[in-house]
A and B are shown apart, each in its own frame.
Chain A
Amino acid sequence: MSATPVPENTWQGSFWLPENVSPMTGGQDELFYFIYGLSIFFFIVVVGFMVYFGWKYRKKKEGEKTTDIHGNTKLEIIWSIIPAILFIIIFIWGFRDWVKLNVPPQDAMDVRVTGRKWDWSFTDASTGAETSDLIAPVNKAVRLTMSSADVIHGFYIPQFRINRDVLPNQYTVLWFKAEQEGSYPILCTQYCGTKHSQMVRYVRVVSQAEYEKQMNAAQGAGLTPAQLGKKLFEGKGACASCHDVSKSKTRSVGPPLFGMYGNTNHEILLPNGSKEKVTFDDNYIRKSILDPNYRIVIGYPSVMPSYQGQLNDKELNSLAEYIKSLKE
């Protein structure tokens, strides 16, 4: 689970829809309520006739006569044409909003989004700052260029009415312009395995000044290697979603890491099925991050994705320092 604190459980919004914080993006709410109104109308008409006929023409006695009606061309044409016209209106309306959704404004600022099992990370294109929550200034258009490090994920912010799949080795684009400060959940909508439902981060819409402050802090100036490692562990690398680091050594998807560094009797399973004892040192950590399924810790599934090409040397060093620091 992400380390982000969950906001208070207070529902902002109407019965049907959450509050719309980015109404300029698609403006879907009007169309939603238009279709909703039509649906209620047709529901009442059809069920109304059904109930009325069902009652009025219920069988009163055995063998009563019924009228032989085979159809009525005029009526059939009418009830084909009316839905057809309504459908065309709905289609055009949806198309108009669709264009808006797919065309980010020219002055939008850029954020790179990476989805991985099972976390998001965000890189602000102008400052290069990496964050685990998406931090966006209020009233400013933001263009998200998204890709995945492993399988397909889905990037969905209900309050912004935006949703698009995040694909490996390809980019997809979304944009929004939040008009209200606050925290809004980012949910994964494309099934991606064990922790699909816990791939929750927040978009924090803040003032311009606060945004700049957060970006400066996130650039990581003045961090010790272990501090940077902790940041990578919880943020960009999403290691924390599978590895516990607390003293309790809780079992999660992957093995816990507390107090492991320096262990000379670390038992692993090689692909050929034989067991081996190795030392849990810097080389072991590096190899495990870059080629995790070369060998696995006994009793754990081989599901960890490789970070080859995604972490540089400085980052690998920092992670090793951080794991080293996990001790009494």
Chain B
Amino acid sequence: MEKRDFVKPVLFSDMLSSHHDTGTNYLNAKKGFLSWLFTVDHKRIGVMYFISISIFFLVAGLFALLLRTELMQIRIPNATANSYMISADHYNESFTFHGAIMVFLVIIPSVPATLGNFLLPLMLGAKDVAFPKLNLISFHLYIVGALFLVYTIAFGGLDTGWTFYTPYSTQTSTSVIAAVFGAFILGFATILTGVNFIVTVHKMRAPGMTWVRMPLFVWAIYATSVIQVLATPVVGVTLILVAIERLLGIGIFDSNLGGDPILFQNFFWFYSHPAVYIMILPAFGIMSELITIHSRKSIFGYKAVAISSIGIAVIGFFVWGHHMFTSGQSPLASVFFSLLTYAVAVPTAIKVFSWVATLYKGSISFTAPMCYAFVFLFLFLIGGLTGIFLGALSTDVHLHNTYFVVAHFQYVMMGGTIIAWIGAIYHWWPKITGKKFNQTWAIISSIVVFIGFNLTFFPQFVMGTRGMPRRYYDYLPEYYTFHLLSTIGSYVLAIGLFIVLFNWLHSIFYGKNETNPNPWKGKSMEWTETAVVPIEHNFEKQPISTHGPYEFDELVKPVKAGGH
């Protein structure tokens, strides 16, 4: 670990520049705010996504702290509207914002839009994505959609939960139309990004870059893009139907007008279940990169890991009904959905086993990205195992819409996607910013996040199995202890995440320049073929792929024929 130098802070305009190697790179090739806002450089677009998503993550996180703080209060007998710290209506609006912002503005775009954008062309040896201007439009649409969602915070609020269930969403007096319209626009951003990535993977690979030489992150982003393109239109249409019902009173989902509320749930989950794979598959890709590079090993079972991503993407389309076991849908339909749910669990299990097996006989460095990879494995394992309870028809009945579901979702989405995302940002930080970061504080952050996360969400499993329903702003007194633990945990978690934020900011303003174009000694093209910070067009000359992405220098063939 190097000692940190207290150098003077640089000017903001110079902050993102590294003048040490050849001089120009994508960060300092052009200057000025507009050169960023209207760039078609996939790397700059990735960085802008990263900054926007980080801000939304901060906002949604603060809402979560507000919710947890409210839930720390013990139940007040004969409460009136003003007895609690915040009123029930404000609580309902807060959890809606937390959910909607985290799902639509943070977790869905987190990995594909930031790292997918930044890395996909670099990993494939391409100059840019297939349609750079379309890529810029995606970002602009994302910002417009996000502004609509933020508008609902300032005016009118939104209290439907992020799921917009009808008939509540067609009857509530809050600003559903603006929120729905925002989500609709965000859907376009997602679809266009997906199309762009699919074409890039098919058409822009460097000479020699066969499908099995692609890094697994590319496979994961590819599978994600396929889901994005196929599933997102459904939610777009569904939300427009909600708006039509609200504005024109045409009965689609409202049974008083001859519609069917279960139809909405079918439409909604037909998108939103595949959407959880949009959220988690890129994180799987990240894990395959982090674990191999920091343990200097080939991935255990490249083909199984790559194909299981596609398997998850395909089967993931046929399990949406497992969100509706208690909804009143046909009990027979529930049976098929339960069976298919377990079918999608098998490829996920294969991935986890493969990552652990990759560690075998490796040379493991406990760098910050690797620490986050371990945190991911631990938390995602709990998230995955608790999913088994929810997939079984009968146990789900007891656990449905309780805190057990909440905790399961947090373990896979926050413990999975967000943890992988933070680990990945650390991993590619030198390539993105050209700066070193403080390893010690990065590792401390992973430990604090790990402790805080488990303290926050593990008690929620216990509350859930004991029958605490979700979306409650007050609760029966027997759940108080668990709520208290959970709230304390959320503060610890917040401290951990703030350490991450300060660590990043510190690196940007005070960090030393990275001088090594390949500090982790990776073998994929974003490390081997680029400058410390990539130039505007990524590569000086067209790179040619001659080996797989995980053929590290340290590898020696086993004495006996163990592999193949």
Known: A6-B476, A16-B466, A68-B557. A189 touches B168 (CB 8 A): no
Say whether A222 faces chain B, with CB atoms less than 8 Å apart.
no
Q: With A39-B386, A80-B350 as given contacts, are A190 and B392 in contact (CB-CB < 8 Å)? A: no
Given A6-B477, A57-B364, A79-B350, A46 and B338 touching (CB < 8 A)? no
Whether A28 contacts B556 by the Cβ 8 Å rule is no
Among residues 8 to 61 in chain A, which have CB atoms less than 8 Å away from a CB atom of chain B? 9, 11, 13, 15-18, 26-28, 31-32, 35-36, 38-39, 42-43, 46-47, 49-50, 53-54, 57-60
Task: In the complex, identify which listed stretch (B34-42, B120-128, B136-144, B394-402) lies at the interface while the others stay far away.
Answer: B394-402
Q: Among B171, B346, B359, B465, which residue has its beta carbon within 8 angstroms of that of A50?
A: B359
The answer to whether A76 and B304 touch across the interface, beta carbons within 8 angstroms, is: yes
Contacts of B478 in A (CB 8 A): 9, 11
**B394→A49 contact, CB < 8 A:** no
B98 to chain A, nearest CB (A): 14
Say whether B465 contacts A16, CB under 8 Å.
Answer: yes
Q: How far is the CB of A169 from chain B (nearest CB, A)?
A: 4
Determine if A223 is an interface residue (Cβ-Cβ < 8 Å). Answer: no
Chain B residues whose C-beta falls within 8 Å of the C-beta of A168 in the assembled complex: 167, 255-256, 261
A1-B79, A69-B563 are known contacts. Are A154 and B338 too (CB-CB below 8 A)?
no
A196 touches B301 (CB 8 A): no
Within B67-108, the residues touching A (CB, 8 Å) are 77-81, 88-89, 92
User: Nearest Cβ in chain B — how far from A247, in angstroms?
Assistant: 15
Q: A15 touches which one: B391, B462, B470 (CB < 8 A)? A: B462
A109 to B471 alpha-carbon distance, docked (Å): 33
List the B side residues contacting A68 at CB < 8 Å. 298, 555-558, 563
Q: Indicate if B349 sits at the interface (CB-CB under 8 A).
A: yes
Partner among A97, A167, A253 whose Cβ is within 8 Å of the Cβ of B262 = A167
- A interface, by DSSP: helix, strand, loop or mixed? mixed
Assuming the contacts A67-B555, A70-B302, A70-B564, asked whether A98 and B335 have C-beta atoms less than 8 A apart, the reply is yes
Task: Please name all residues of chain A whose beta carbon is closer than 8 Å to the beta carbon of B363 when the two chains form the complex.
Answer: 57-60, 64-66
A301 x B350 contact (CB < 8 A): no
Say yes or no: is A164 at the interface (Cβ < 8 Å to chain B).
yes
**Hey, which chain B residues are within 8 Å of A252, CB to CB?**
80-81
Q: Are the C-beta atoms of A169 and B255 separated by less than 8 Å?
A: yes
A302 and B335 form a contact (CB under 8 A): no
User: Within the assembled complex, what's the spacing in Å between the Cα atoms of A196 and B360?
Assistant: 51
Q: Which residues of B contact A172 (CB under 8 A)?
A: 328
Contacting A at CB under 8 A, from B359-407, are: 359-366, 374, 377-378, 381-382, 385-386, 388-389, 391-398, 400-402
Q: Does A232 contact B (CB under 8 A)?
A: no
**Which of these, A16, A151, A154, contacts B326 with CB under 8 Å?**
A154
Q: CA A95 – CA B393 in complex, angstroms?
A: 6
Known: A59-B363, A66-B552, A169-B255. A150 touches B171 (CB 8 A): yes
Q: Which residues of A contact B131 (CB under 8 A)?
A: none
A188 to B469, alpha carbons, bound, how many Å? 8
Q: Which residues of A contact B78 (CB under 8 A)?
A: 1
Question: Chain B residues near A35 (CB, 8 Å)?
Answer: 388-389, 392, 395
The residues of B that contact A158 with a CB separation of less than 8 Å are 398, 466-467
Whether B392 lies near A69 (C-beta < 8 A) is: no
CB distance from B447 to the nearest CB of A (A): 14
- Count residues of chain B with CB under 8 A from any CB of chain A: 100
Interface residues contributed by chain A, number (CB under 8 Å): 96
B304:A71 contact, CB within 8 angstroms = yes
The answer to whether B165 touches A152 (Cβ under 8 A) is yes
Q: For residue A196, which residues in chain B have a CB less than 8 angstroms away from its CB?
A: 88, 92, 471-473
- Contact B466 A18, beta carbon cutoff 8 Å: yes
Task: Pick the contact of B328: A11, A94, A165 (CB < 8 A).
Answer: A165
A91-B392 contact given A71-B302, A194-B89, A200-B476, CB 8 Å threshold: yes
Complex: how many Å from CA A150 to CA B556?
69
Looking at the complex, which one of B345, B391, B397 makes contact with A101 (CB distance below 8 Å)? B397
In the bound complex, residues from chain B placing their C-beta under 8 Å from that of A98 are 331, 334-335, 338, 393-394, 397
Asked if A170 contacts B328 (CB within 8 A), the reply is yes
* 9-residue interface stretch from A81-89, A135-143, A206-214, A312-320: A81-89
Contact at A75–B255, with CB atoms within 8 Å? no
CB closest residue in chain A, given B169? A151
Q: How far is the CB of B147 from chain A (nearest CB, A)?
A: 26
Interchain CB contact (< 8 A) of A32 among B167, B359, B395, B564: B395
CA of A33 to CA of B409 in the docked complex: distance in angstroms?
A: 21
Determine whether A161 belongs to the interface, using a CB cutoff of 8 Å to chain B: yes
User: Chain B residue with minimal CB distance to A194?
Assistant: B88
Q: State in angstroms the CA–CA spacing of A154 and B401 once bound together.
A: 9
Q: Closest Cβ of chain B: how far from A197's Cβ, in Å?
A: 4
- Check: B159 CB closer than 8 A to any chain A CB: yes
Q: Which residues of A contact B79 (CB under 8 A)?
A: 1
B residues near A18, Cβ cutoff 8 Å: 466-467
Instruction: Please tell me if the beta carbons of A42 and B385 are within 8 angstroms of each other in the complex.
Output: yes
A191 to B400, CA, bound (A): 12
Within the complex, the shortest CB–CB distance from B261 to chain A, in Å, comes to 6
Establish whether residues A66 and B476, one from each chain, have CB atoms under 8 Å apart when the complex forms.
no
User: CB distance B466 to A152 under 8 Å?
Assistant: no
Best-buried of A16, A57, A188 by chain B (most CB within 10 Å): A57
CB contact list, A150-197 vs B, under 8 A? 150-152, 154, 156, 158-159, 161-165, 167-170, 172, 185, 187-197
* Of B168, B171, B394, the contact of A28 (CB 8 Å cutoff): B394
Which residues of the partner chain B approach A91 to less than 8 Å between Cβ atoms?
338-339, 342, 391-393
B338's partner among A54, A95, A192, A197 (CB-CB below 8 A) is: A95
A39 CA / B404 CA spacing, docked (Å): 15
Closest residue of chain B to A161 (Cβ to Cβ) is B398
Q: Residues of B contacting A49 with CB < 8 Å?
A: 356, 359
Q: Nearest chain-A residue to B257 (Cβ)?
A: A169
Considering the chains assembled together, what is the distance between the CA atoms of A68 and B563 in angstroms? 7
In the docked arrangement, what's the CA distance between A194 and B174, Å? 12
* Contact B173–A301 (Cβ < 8 Å): yes
Give the distance to chain A from B388, nearest Cβ to Cβ, in Å.
Answer: 5
From A43, A94, A189, give the contact of B401 (CB < 8 A).
A189
Smallest Cβ distance from A152 to chain B, in angstroms? Answer: 6
- Whether A93 contacts B392 in the complex (CB less than 8 A), given A66-B556, A165-B327, comes out as yes
Q: Mark contacts of A246-268 with chain B using CB atoms, 8 A cut-off: 1 yes-contact digit, 0 otherwise.
A: 00001111000000000000000
Interface status of A216 (Cβ within 8 A of chain B) = no
Tell me if B361 and A66 are in contact (CB < 8 A): yes
Q: Is A17 a contact partner of B402 (Cβ separation < 8 A)?
A: no
Tell which of B326, B362, B394 touches A97, judged by Cβ atoms closer than 8 Å. Answer: B394
Kindly supply a per-residue 1/0 record for chain B positions 293-308, scoring 1 wherever the CB is within 8 Å of any chain A CB and 0 otherwise: 0011110111110000
Task: Contact check, B346 vs A83: say whether CB atoms are below 8 A apart.
Answer: yes
B101 CB → nearest A CB, Å: 17
Closest to A48 in B: B356
Q: Are A167 and B555 in contact, with the CB atoms below 8 A?
A: no
Cα distance A38–B338 in the bound complex, in angstroms:
18
Q: Which residues of chain A from 93 to 108 have any CB-CB distance to chain B below 8 Å in the complex?
A: 93-98, 101-102
Chain A residues, CB < 8 A from B554: 63-66
Between A and B, 29 residue pairs with Cβ closer than 8 Å are A1-B78, A9-B478, A27-B394, A28-B397, A42-B381, A57-B360, A65-B556, A69-B361, A71-B301, A71-B563, A72-B301, A80-B349, A83-B345, A87-B342, A90-B392, A94-B338, A102-B331, A156-B401, A156-B467, A163-B397, A163-B398, A164-B326, A167-B255, A168-B167, A169-B255, A185-B476, A189-B470, A190-B165, A303-B173
A residues apposed to B, CB below 8 Å: 1, 6, 9, 11, 13, 15-18, 26-28, 31-32, 35-36, 38-39, 42-43, 46-47, 49-50, 53-54, 57-60, 63-72, 75-76, 79-80, 83-84, 87-88, 90-91, 93-98, 101-102, 150-152, 154, 156, 158-159, 161-165, 167-170, 172, 185, 187-198, 200, 250-253, 301-303
Known contacts A80-B349, A191-B160, A196-B471; 16 additional CB pairs below 8 A are: A9-B477, A16-B465, A28-B395, A28-B397, A39-B385, A43-B382, A47-B381, A49-B359, A54-B364, A66-B552, A70-B300, A72-B563, A76-B304, A94-B393, A95-B393, A303-B173
